[in-house]
Structure 1
Amino acid sequence: MKKKIHIFTALALGLGFATAQAEQPTLKVCTAENEMPYSNKNGEGFENKLAQYLAEQLGRKLETVTWTDPRYFIRDYVDKGLCDVVMGVDYGDPRLYTTVPYYRSGYVFISREQDELDLQNWDSAALQKAKRIAFIPGTPAETMLRAIGRYNDMFNYQQELVGFKSKRNQYIKYETEKLVTEVASGKAEIAILWGPAAARYVKASAVPLTMTVIPDDNHRADGQKVGFHYSTAIGVRKGETALLEQLNRVIRKQQDEIDELLEAEGIPLLDEAETALSMN
């Protein structure tokens, strides 16, 4: 008789555990299929790791929903309810609710340590002397290269970096890892990239590289500021106010642990802007 009671109790506990697992809420996070070092379908990016950490802190099961084209995923995935959360969006993105920033970083100059280039800002002589400068079109780097008269000098080299493709209405991608490798190999003297996108590859380079954060005090010829420091937040589907507040509480409480994850990646972290702090 005792044996039957033990068997019944074990079965009951097992059913209870299975029920608890089934009832555990999910955190549906939109991530890129192949946008390293942020994320990929194998979960190898730093945003994949952060999403897993947040799900654990919320007591939820992580469910990842992958997208392939960054131009439409908010419309086609978030707005349609296929996922609730997007990692790594600009703080204040009007398409979403955004959490308090979980990090602030900046664009960087990357060069080889052995070259000992003096790269402090856009008036650095090394930028005028360089034969090849790697950058991604459409970023603040392009704006300032135009301002200092070096953009046209780099036109042919830019075509080499991406390769010619006739892709009407398709997403043309520059691989950050490739641009860092251009510097490490000596093909380019300088790369100008978003720090979080480049940090992993700078850290892993067999050739020692220097990564210098560009000051956030630059202006175009017409006097308009060109921003080089930005705050990054988590995007939440509009209407999900409870989830937004839960994530805000986790970020505020666990900021030190989040910083450790980002620092392990090599990401240069900056103090949060006063305007953002006053709104949090």
Structure 2
Amino acid sequence: MTQHTRPLRHWFVALLIATGIAIPSGALAQGAGLGAAGELVDLDVLRVCADPSNMPFSDQSGKGFENKLAELVAAKTGRKSVAYTWYPMATGFVRNTLRSNHCDIIMGYAQGDELVQNTNAYYRSTYVMLFKKGAGLDDVMSIEDTKLAGKKIGVVAGTPPAANLAKVGYMRNVLPYPLMVDTRLAPSMADVMIKDLMKGTIDVAILWGPMAGYYANEINPDLAVVSLAKEKSGHMAYRITMGVRPSDQEWKRTLNKVIKENQPEINRILLEYHVPLMDENDKPITQ
């Protein structure tokens, strides 16, 4: 994402879709094939639309968990290889990649957005709150907790937790972090926020779970990570799917079969990146 607008990573794209930017020259994968019922899905290569600098999701070096999931999907659907259309996750991403037939799948997309056709969800995660253990916040489980009233809170501007903080009157204590940062040129917002937490610039960091889990483990695995899935006000948990073109019905069915038959392996990959997985009853999935 140009921060890369992170999640809900693609949820932000829905809000920013009014205009687009030109696709970089030479960035497009070549050789689209013809799938079932005239679907423009390559039968030999898994053509993925992805951000080139968006850890822990995707990375041009192949280190992100969506890169690993793409390799799994390619193997399970009989593709010989994976090829990428790299494009920053910003306004115009879907229109200039998937909708322009330059690729056939977006590996992670929030359920319910009309820009793509969603597969079944392959994971569900939530925004989380991070703080240092032993700093007087160990029993805090909600944004509404009065113990947060005098604390400096880091949150990404424009995300759902920011709305909850405003509702409980804590915005005067908020240090906002930018929604959009080009991480090809600057550190990830999650990396910056958690380092600020360690330095004492903020007392609490509120982030999308997959980013929080990954960067917290990189910087300080002993931080408290509290799920916000049960917040009374505001929706904090989201289902993440794979995104395909609305016309690609057979391709969607194929991917749904892959997800259903390989959920334990998918969970294993996600948990290796410390993604906080939640079931439909908001209980943690640990294996």
Which residue of the partner structure matches residue 119 of structure 1? 140
Give the match's secondary structure for 2:103.
Answer: coil
Q: Distance in 2 between matches of 1:116 and 1:247?
A: 46
What percent identity do the matched residue pairs reach? 29
1:235 aligned partner, one-letter code: G
Which residue of the partner structure matches residue 194 of structure 1? 208
Summarize deviations over 1:65-120 as a string: whole Å, max 9, x none.
Answer: 11024221101111110011001111122111111100001111100123241221
Give the match's secondary structure for 1:193.
Answer: strand
Structure 2 unaligned segments of length 5 or more: list them.
1-41, 283-287
Pairing partner for 1:266 from 245, 263, 274 = 274
Scaled by the length of structure 1, what TM-score is found? 0.78
Q: Is the 8 A contact 1:103 1:272 kept in 2?
A: no
Q: Is the 8 A contact 1:88 1:235 kept in 2?
A: yes
Pairing partner for 2:103 from 50, 75, 83 = 83
Pairing partner for 2:254 from 246, 249, 252 = 246
Give the match's secondary structure for 1:245.
Answer: helix
Q: Distance in 1 between matches of 2:187 and 2:215?
A: 17
Q: Distance in 2 between matches of 1:28 and 1:103?
A: 21
Equivalent positions of 1:1-280 (< 5 A) are: 25-60=44-79, 61-117=81-137, 118-130=139-151, 132-154=152-174, 157-158=175-176, 161-162=177-178, 175-206=189-220, 208-219=222-233, 226-272=234-280
Q: Is the 8 A contact 2:157 2:178 kept in 1?
A: no
Equivalenced residue count is 235
Could you say if the C-alpha distance between residues 162 and 26 of structure 1 is closer, same or farther in structure 2, counting changes exceeding 3 Å?
same
Q: Is the 8 A contact 1:162 1:174 kept in 2?
A: no
Deviation at 1:273, TM superposition (A): 6.6
Give the match's secondary structure for 1:115.
Answer: coil
Which residue of the partner structure matches residue 5 of structure 1? none
Deviation at 1:62, TM superposition (A): 0.8
Deviation at 1:189, TM superposition (A): 0.7
Could you say if the C-alpha distance between residues 162 and 269 of structure 1 is closer, same or farther in structure 2, counting changes exceeding 3 Å?
closer
Q: Distance in 1 between matches of 2:281 and 2:118?
A: 16
1:126 aligned partner, one-letter code: K
**Bigger helix share:** 1
Q: Is the 8 A contact 1:105 1:196 kept in 2?
A: yes
Could you say if the C-alpha distance between residues 173 and 239 of structure 1 is closer, same or farther in structure 2, counting changes exceeding 3 Å?
farther
* Cα RMSD after superposing both structures: 2.5
Deviation at 1:270, TM superposition (A): 0.7
Deviation at 1:228, TM superposition (A): 0.5
Q: Which runs of 4+ in 1 moved over 6 A?
A: none
Could you say if the C-alpha distance between residues 74 and 57 of structure 1 is closer, same or farther in structure 2, counting changes exceeding 3 Å?
same
Could you say if the C-alpha distance between residues 37 and 255 of structure 1 is closer, same or farther in structure 2, counting changes exceeding 3 Å?
same
Deviation at 1:236, TM superposition (A): 0.6
Summarize deviations over 1:5-59 as a string: whole Å, max 9, x none.
Answer: xxxxxxxxxxxxxxxxxx9711111010112211121111111111111111111
Which residue of the partner structure matches residue 33 of structure 2? none
